[in-house]
């Protein structure tokens, strides 16, 4: 995985010892499937990516300049790749030792479509789809080249059928195409250029070659070395320090050049050998982008974090939230709404302000819009953080509450008072929403209760069933579904780490989700997860079995930290899951090894790698272990909830109703549209009508002080847009 620090708009990834995707002109747009090599001898031919006899090294952990060595009994093939810092060109220098001819096999997937490309040979080789074009140029002309259709007349099929190159097709139009080039000697240089026109792509590639690989490499390395001098890390043992440098570099690489501040989730295609689906990884998720910005902030990269804030202020929707995920230019991809993604940018701004930053007016406006959206839509999120279910989730709720408190310094008096009341109410009711007791699972494990992963609307006072994603329509009782989401509550400062509810929930997830691997103890996202390889190792294909996630070891490590324990074992666990060159995977294999599929316990699966969220979690845990507190814990939140704080008012709204009110709480009846309230007490006595008042943030409501609620019950119904609801509500008063 590499990109240059300069005007170049090109990113490249490596896998199986060859070049995988090359992204241009943005991090969301992979333009090739791969570029690999074939060695052809008198009695055999070898496709290097299938041999798995390679090593990859770099000059330093923070310099993404890969040097690849393939070595077999009769050959040694090395190549280096470097993105030209000044042009949209990937340069490759190669050397072969052995009695073989070298061939390069290139699979264009231009314009995000692998099935409507045209490839041709005209001295150099070209491919085009719409306004995306590439050209592969050699320092010395290719001996031969051919353009074919994948699975029919491509170069691999030619070798597979004949053991040598026999075809020399000049053109393959409008299809899934591949180019095969016979290189003219055992050593040389190649340039893969990209542009809106094939002529432009060739001109860029030829220009890079004219200056030479060494010039580009030296320029590339100087840029990364200068950046490396700005990284600050806590003192730690060398292996952890190296991984921290890798992690910071991974986050830096994933930032877009055309749209600075846009950090995509992963420059990888999960299970890409068996699927053409790009999925949701080459996109910006505000959660992942903010996690990355917070991590970069811990390494001294304040300007990087500010760029993320500025970018998010530009991509926010008018109603205050962000698309579930989106291309770096702001175009939406999936359409879900996750309230933690609306709340996280507020936490990032608040973190920067605590560190001395003064946000510009546009960022203050962004906060106001985001708070308004949370206040109107929360606390139940239309989607949880794994983009699967709606309802109350401890992680999302915790981030919402922390964001509301963090926003108070940016608000006027009336709005600030309303936000404070809402935050205190949601915080007080968090266990009502997300904590269960005396369930079959709690009795089985001998604990009083625990936080559930997600709680959909209550039925008869208990959570309903939850749809399991990627499990062919299966459902599970919400009270039996657990995850690590509750660990963010003490991390944010909303609950004490020694709270009995936190401790009993930890006992449950240790029993249900923890798996011990050679890398260390790891965790599944939740029980019955269906996102991962099948039991027999087959790739995820819409269903499967969820595997262990290294980033969750980071969440467990943060809980250890705030509990007064040593978090270093969890840092070590994450370190030991790293793949080639220190890249951290989304998931690792967590059962018996399957050597034929390269699946080993504690080692990366075919899921996304690198995952920026995992690298961010590693960096944040490393920083927290040094300073003693999580970077997400804000002073305002910690001070407000250091001691148990009772809400002054409970907010009744249609999406979050309640039928009892504790003593000494005001009652607020509210909605996102105006209404008239018809109300009475103890069987509708003393009935009256009142019009709702504007509360701020587009909310309307009426407040009844606790001293005025003298009856045993409070009954009401509402008239909205001239129509009565048609049913009554009753709230019991607890004296």
pLDDT in tens, 223-255: 999 999 999 999 999 999 999 999 999 999 999
For the cut 80, the answer to whether the pLDDT of residue 463 exceeds it is no
pLDDT of residue 113: 82
Write the CB contacts of 38 (distance below 8 Å, at least 6 apart in sequence).
45, 46, 47, 48, 102, 103, 104, 105, 155, 156, 159, 180
pLDDT in tens, 352-407: 999 999 999 999 999 999 999 999 999 999 999 998 889 999 999 999 999 999 99
> Any idea of the CA torsion for 275, 280, 282, 284, to the nearest 10 degrees?
180
Taking Cα atoms as reference points, which of 159, 296, 217 lies closest to residue 623?
296
In whole angstroms, how far apart are CA 172 and each of 107, 146, 150? 12, 9, 10
Write the CB contacts of 437 (distance below 8 Å, at least 6 apart in sequence).
448, 449
Three-class DSSP category at 365: helix
523 alpha carbon, distance to own chain's centre? 17
DSSP lists the bridge partners of residue 12 as: 2, 22
- Mean per-residue pLDDT of the chain: 95
pLDDT in tens, 635-668: 999 999 999 899 999 999 998 999 999 999 999 9
Q: Which two tokens stand for residue 291?
A: 């996690």
Segments of the chain assigned to CATH 2.60.40 = 649-733
Other beta carbons less than 10 A from residue 679's beta carbon:
21
pLDDT in tens, 438-462: 999 999 999 999 999 998 755 445 5
**Token pair 């333009």 in the structure block, residue:** 31
Segments of the chain assigned to CATH 2.70.98.10 = 2-227
**Token pair 């009401």 in the structure block, residue:** 716
Q: Topology of 231-533+541-584+611-641 in CATH?
A: Glycosyltransferase (1.50.10)
Q: What is the CATH number of domain 649-733?
A: 2.60.40
How many residues can be counted in the chain? 735
Segments of the chain assigned to CATH 1.50.10.10 = 231-533+541-584+611-641
Q: Which two tokens stand for residue 606?
A: 């075919």
**DSSP E strand boundaries for 123-262:** 124-129, 132-138, 144-149, 171-175, 177-182, 187-195
pLDDT in tens, 287-341: 999 999 999 999 999 999 999 999 999 999 999 999 999 999 999 999 999 999 9
Using alpha carbons only, give the angle 717, 676, 320 rounded to the nearest 5 degrees: 100
Q: How far apart are the first and last CA of the chain?
A: 64
Judging by beta carbons within 10 Å of its beta carbon (0-12, 13-18, 19+), is residue 515 exposed, middle or buried? Answer: middle
CA distance 717 to 222: 70
Q: Is the pTM of this model over 0.85?
A: yes
Q: What is the CATH number of domain 2-227?
A: 2.70.98.10
Three-class DSSP category at 540: coil
Q: Positive or negative, the Cα torsion across 524, 525, 527, 529? A: negative
């Amino acid at each position: 995985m590499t990109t240059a620090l300069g005007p170049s708009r090109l990113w490249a990834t490596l896998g199986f010892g060859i070049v995988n995707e090359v992204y241009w002109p943005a991090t969301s747009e992979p333009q090739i499937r791969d570029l690999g090599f074939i060695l052809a001898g008198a009695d055999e031919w070898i496709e290097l990516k299938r041999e798995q006899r390679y090593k990859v090294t770099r000059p330093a952990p923070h310099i993404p300049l890969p040097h690849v060595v393939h070595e077999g009994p009769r050959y040694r093939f090395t190549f280096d790749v470097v993105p030209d810092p000044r042009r949209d060109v990937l340069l490759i220098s190669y050397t072969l030792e052995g009695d073989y001819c070298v061939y390069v096999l290139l699979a264009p997937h231009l314009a995000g479509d692998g099935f409507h490309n045209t490839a041709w040979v005209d001295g150099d080789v070209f491919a085009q789809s719409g306004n995306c074009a590439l050209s592969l140029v050699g320092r010395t002309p290719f001996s031969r080249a051919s353009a074919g259709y994948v699975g029919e007349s491509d170069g691999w099929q030619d070798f597979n059928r004949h053991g040598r190159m026999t075809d020399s097709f000049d053109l393959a139009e409008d299809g899934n195409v591949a180019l095969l080039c016979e290189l003219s000697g055992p050593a040389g240089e190649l340039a893969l250029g990209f542009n809106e026109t094939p002529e432009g792509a060739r001109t860029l590639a030829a220009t890079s070659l004219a200056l030479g690989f060494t010039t580009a490499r030296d320029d590339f390395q100087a840029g990364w070395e200068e950046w490396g001098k700005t990284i600050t890390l806590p003192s730690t043992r060398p292996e952890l320090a190296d991984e921290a440098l890798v992690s910071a570099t991974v986050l830096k690489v994933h930032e877009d050049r055309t749209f600075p501040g846009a950090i995509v989730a992963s420059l990888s295609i999960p299970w890409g050998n068996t699927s053409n689906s790009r999925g949701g990884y080459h996109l910006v998720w505000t959660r992942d982008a903010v996690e990355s910005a917070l991590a970069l902030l811990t390494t001294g990269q304040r300007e990087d974090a500010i760029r993320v804030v500025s970018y998010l202020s530009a991509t926010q929707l008018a109603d205050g939230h962000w698309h579930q995920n989106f291309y770096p230019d702001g175009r939406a991809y999936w359409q879900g709404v996750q309230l933690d993604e609306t709340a996280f940018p507020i936490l990032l701004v608040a973190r920067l302000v605590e560190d001395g930053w003064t946000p510009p007016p546009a960022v203050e406006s962004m906060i106001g819009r985001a708070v308004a959206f949370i206040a109107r839509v929360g606390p139940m999120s239309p989607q949880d953080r794994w983009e699967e279910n709606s309802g109350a989730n401890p992680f999302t709720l915790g981030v919402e509450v922390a964001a509301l408190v963090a926003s108070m310094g940016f608000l006027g008096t009336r709005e600030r008072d309303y936000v404070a009341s809402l935050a205190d109410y949601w915080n007080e009711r968090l266990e009502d929403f997300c904590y269960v007791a005396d369930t079959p699972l709690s009795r089985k494990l001998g604990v009083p209760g625990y936080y559930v992963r997600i709680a959909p609307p209550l039925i008869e006072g208990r959570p309903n069933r939850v749809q399991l994603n990627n499990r062919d329509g299966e459902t599970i009782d919400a009270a039996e579904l657990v995850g690590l989401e509750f660990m963010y509550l003490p991390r944010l400062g909303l609950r004490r780490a020694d709270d009995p509810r936190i401790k009993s929930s930890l006992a449950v997830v240790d029993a249900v989700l923890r798996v011990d691997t050679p890398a260390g103890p790891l965790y599944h996202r939740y029980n019955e997860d269906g996102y991962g390889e099948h039991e027999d190792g087959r790739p995820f294909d819409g269903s499967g079995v969820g595997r262990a996630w290294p980033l969750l070891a980071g969440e467990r490590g943060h809980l250890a930290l705030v509990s007064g324990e040593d978090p270093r074992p969890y840092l070590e666990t994450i370190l030991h899951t790293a793949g080639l060159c220190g890249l951290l995977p989304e998931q690792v294999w967590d059962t018996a090894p399957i050597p034929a599929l390269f699946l080993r316990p504690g080692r990366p699966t075919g899921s996304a790698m690198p995952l920026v969220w995992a690298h961010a979690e590693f960096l944040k845990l490393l920083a927290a272990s040094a300073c003693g507190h999580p970077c997400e814990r804000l002073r305002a939140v910690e001070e407000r909830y250091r001691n148990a704080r009772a809400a002054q008012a409970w907010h009744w709204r249609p999406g979050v109703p309640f039928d009892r009110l504790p003593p000494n709480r005001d009652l607020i009846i509210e909605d996102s549209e105006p209404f008239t309230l018809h109300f009475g007490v103890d069987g509708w006595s003393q009935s009256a009508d009142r019009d709702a008042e504007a509360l701020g943030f587009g909310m309307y409501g009426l407040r009844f002080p606790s001293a005025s609620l003298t009856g045993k019950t409070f009954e009401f119904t509402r008239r909205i847009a001239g129509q009565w609801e048609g049913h009554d509500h009753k709230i019991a008063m607890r004296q």
